[in-house]
Amino acid sequence: MSKDHPIPALFSDQYQLTMFQAYHTEGMTGPAVFELFARRLPPGRNYLVACGLEDVLDYLENLRFTADEIDYLRSLGRFTPEVLEILREFRFSGTVHAMPEGTVCFPNEPLLSIEAPLPEAQLIETAVLNLIHYQTLVASKGARVVAAAAGADVVDFGARRTHGRDAALACAGALSIAGYVGTSNLEAGQRLGIPVVGTVAHSYIEAHPDEEQAFIRFAEHYPGTTL
């Protein structure tokens, strides 16, 4: 999802960059391994569904500091010219090992492992956690809903309740991976190739003389299906 809209390099916590600078200043640039896993899960929830890997890979492939971002960091007065130059030329050089999207996993199993020079692995932590956490949360819940449906089709109508447009798009994608067969979100349909579905809002019902007339009229418009 991030290919069309690259995630800004400044989507990070400040301490990631101050540690990045400290590592370079101390000569601590050797290889490191960062792993993402859950230590424990809530009662009754004994598995997760890994999700968000595609966005992580897009982020790492496209990670660049723009001139405006470097100027902003310079204005903070916390970074040396040498480190700003390193950031200006930054390209991720590490290796990613990860579970495929939709893999069921358990506590203490790494969903994702990053091998990279220590400053690089540190720099990307915030964005990687953000991209994996939300989508894995949604996919894990969605998988339970699909299981509870016992073979009945399940579709996503969550755009109006998610916390922002990006979250709605990520939610639709994660639920598709979890086994949902469609989404009401047209943008998700276009960008992610998910079949789009829809019913009718209560406002349409209220706009007609009564409920029966509303359903009759809508069925006349769309006789094949109410979806």
pLDDT tens profile 47-81: 999 999 999 999 999 999 999 999 999 999 999 99
From the centroid of its chain, how far is CA 63? 16
Query: Backbone dihedral region of 13: left (phi > 0), alpha (psi from -120 to 50 degrees) or beta?
Result: beta
Please name the residue that has the structure tokens 């990053």.
Answer: 114
Residue 226: is its pLDDT beyond 70? Answer: no
155-156 and 182-183 beta bridge pairing: parallel
Confidence of residue 224 (pLDDT cuts 50, 70, 90): confident
Q: Say which CATH superfamily domain 1-134 falls into.
A: nicotinate phosphoribosyltransferase (3.20.140.10)
Residue ranges of alpha helices (H) inside 116-206 are: 118-123, 125-149, 165-178, 186-192, 202-206
Instruction: Give the integer Cα–Cα distance in Å for 110 and 174.
Output: 19
Instruction: Select the more confidently predicted residue: 19 or 223.
Output: 19
pLDDT of residue 225: 72
Residue 3: is its pLDDT beyond 60? Answer: no
Confidence of residue 2 (pLDDT cuts 50, 70, 90): very low
**For the segment 181-220, what is each residue's pLDDT rounded down to a tens digit?**
999 999 999 999 999 999 889 999 999 999 999 999 999 9
Provide the residue count of the chain: 227
DSSP H or E segment with residue 104: strand 104-105
SS3 119: helix
Task: Give the mean pLDDT of the chain.
Answer: 95
Tokens of 182: 């469609």
